[in-house]
Structure formats: C-alpha cells, structure tokens
C-alpha cells in the first residue's frame, strides 16, 4: 500500500504574507488612535479652561468689590418677548476668559439689577 501525502497546514510563505498584511492593517490604524487621543487631551484642556473661567465668575459674584483677574463687567439691557408681552431687563454681563495651551474658553453670566 502506498502512503498518502497529507497537504494539511500552512507554508512559511503564507505565514510571512499574513503577518505582513496584519502589520499593514495595524499601521493604518495608528493615525486614527493618535487623532483620538489628541482630541481627548484637547477636550480635557477645554474642560479645565471652562472650569477656571466659571470659578473666576463665582469669585467675582461672591465678592463684588474685589478685582478678579480676567473678569470684565459691562452694563447691558435687553427685552424678553413672550407673544405680545415684553419684559425689559437691565443689569451687568460678567465675562471671564481662561486659556491653557492655546485652548481658550469664555464664560458669560447676566446679573439683573
């Protein structure tokens, strides 16, 4: 009787080609992961600047006579309309700007008289 040759398995060339293709696929995803991590970092910076700006406004509101760096006050007036009813409002707009590493956030608050 003759023995049958078994052709099961993979050759070395098939393994090398599959590893090369897998490597190319992995390399193509690197910019995607970099961009995602960069956006996460910038979002964190934006949150920090918004928190700092809001904190400055709260410091100004807790002590109106104090001078808080980065906080500006301007007089403002406007009208709110509900159908045929108009409500005039006057007061101050308090603006605070904070920046960290080229990320700038501005927070505004209206304080009625």
Distance from C-alpha of 56 to C-alpha of 63, rounded to nearest angstrom: 11
Mean pLDDT of 52-72: 87
Per-domain residue ranges of the chain? 12-112
Mean pLDDT of 22-41: 91
pLDDT surpasses 70 at 2? no
Helix (H, G, I), strand (E, B) or coil at 14: helix
Average pLDDT of the residues of the chain: 88
pLDDT band, residue 86 (cuts 50/70/90): very high
pLDDT surpasses 90 at 4? no
In this prediction the pTM is 0.64
Cα dihedral angle (87, 88, 90, 96), rounded to 10 degrees? 60
């Amino acid at each position: 009787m003759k023995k049958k040759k078994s052709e099961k398995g993979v050759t070395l060339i098939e393994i090398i080609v599959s590893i090369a293709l897998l490597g190319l696929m992995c390399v193509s995803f690197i910019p995607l992961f970099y961009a995602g991590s960069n956006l996460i970092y910038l979002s964190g910076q934006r949150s920090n600047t918004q928190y700092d700006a809001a904190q400055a406004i709260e410091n100004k509101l807790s002590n109106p006579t104090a001078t808080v760096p980065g906080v500006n006050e301007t007089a403002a007036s406007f009208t709110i309309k509900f159908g045929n009813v108009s409500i005039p409002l006057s007061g101050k707009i308090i603006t605070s700007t904070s920046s960290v590493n080229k990320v700038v956030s501005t927070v505004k608050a209206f304080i009625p008289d």
